[in-house]
Amino acid sequence: MLSRDAGEDSGFFPFAALWVRMTGISLSATSFLGISRPYRFSMWGKGTSDLVKYLMVGIGGGLGSILRFWLGSYIGSKMGTRFPYGTFVINITGSFLIGLVFAFLTARTQWSPNWRYLIPIGFIGGYTTFSSFEFETLRTMQDGQIGLGLFYVAASVVVGFVAVWGGMVAGRAMVG
């Protein structure tokens, strides 16, 4: 049976309870975007926390993958496919995002640990495309464009590293 903490007043209680359990963020009118104690799911018994972790990773991964597909297709249609611009942009923005997100999650220790499963593991894991990067590098080199392939590897690693660092700096500046 679902039970809720005192003071929580939501008209769509079962959905709000699941949201608060997964994210640690209350949907009540009195504490919108506030941090609350998570709801207890006594009907699911032991193993609930593992189920929630998998749900968070799955939701985040699905959304990240959809965004990766859309953005990669869009960039490829605008810039061409001789150089894998879409994958490059996705990997660099993903590197920046993971730095930014970890800066926030490190500074906001009172937030539910489920945010770690939703955003960096799920969403950014689904969004970034390291396997695509490796495949495109191999294909470029097999096509005889060894210089372009090596440039792609070097640029991805160096610019990706700078993006992670920039994300951390930006995140730290935002949180305090």
- 17-37 pLDDT, tens digit per residue, is 555 565 555 544 334 334 444
pLDDT tens digits, 44-62: 445 558 889 999 999 999 9
Q: What pLDDT is attached to residue 74? A: 97
Q: How far apart are CA 129 and CA 91, in angstroms?
A: 6
pLDDT tens digits, 74-90: 999 999 988 999 999 99
Distances (CA, A) of 175 to 1, 96, 111, 171: 38, 16, 13, 6
Q: What pLDDT is attached to residue 131? A: 76
Average pLDDT, rounded, for the chain: 79
Length of the chain: 176
Q: Which two tokens stand for residue 141?
A: 């080199």
Give me the residues paired with residue 41 across strands: 2
Quick one: pLDDT band at residue 4, thresholds 50, 70, 90?
Answer: very low
pLDDT tens digits, 139-174: 899 999 999 999 999 999 999 999 999 999 999 999
For residues 90-110, b (16+ Cβ closer than 10 Å) or e, as one string? bbbbbbbbbbbbbbbbeeeee
